[in-house]
Structure 1
């Protein structure tokens, strides 16, 4: 995958930046529903390329314990628990932390940081389950422990 995305790396980066700007400018409009999809696809391609490059240079290393959590984060982040998902909670928290309703910069920070906070919340749930209910976690993740 890294090799495939390397061929058009600059294209993906430009599309990512342009679509992020479009998502912010056209928020809550019909255009935003399209630009969000484009943003997600281009960002994944950009991040795969950037991550591959950082791994090759030795800046990043693979952490096996963290890689065990990838399926759990993928499955849990949109799941509604107690009327809210980890991602929804992260969005609400970052919007309030950065005063997104008052400042465009706060909205952009919220938009960029809420997925990271959502993933962190999922990792916290994973760690808690691994500590207090490891067999249940094993069942939830299909034996990925």
Structure 2
């Protein structure tokens, strides 16, 4: 089984959490650590957004994302498993790969969006993670 699992979370698609939870339970076995990672891609354009939204609305967005991740962490809690919550800023696939390396993840568990013509087999973020990850990657549709 795997000891250090990274699960990138898209807060806009929380309907997949039950499938992620069940898969994580199977992968982590008797114990280990699961990190929920939310990559805030809006911060790539942080200056422009802060100009449009204002600093207080932008800060509220960050607080809400943190609160949602904490709730998800509680709902995914598994026996003998340490849950961690991390928010990073930037491009999703880059941040997923960097964080996986930083924590020494031995598995990444992620959902793939339904493909469009440009990314027929799996979503573009999942495809990039699969191609470049230094650990096992499990992609759920």
What is the TM-score when the length of structure 2 is the normalising length?
0.27
Q: Which has the higher strand share?
A: 2
Q: Which has the higher helix share?
A: 1
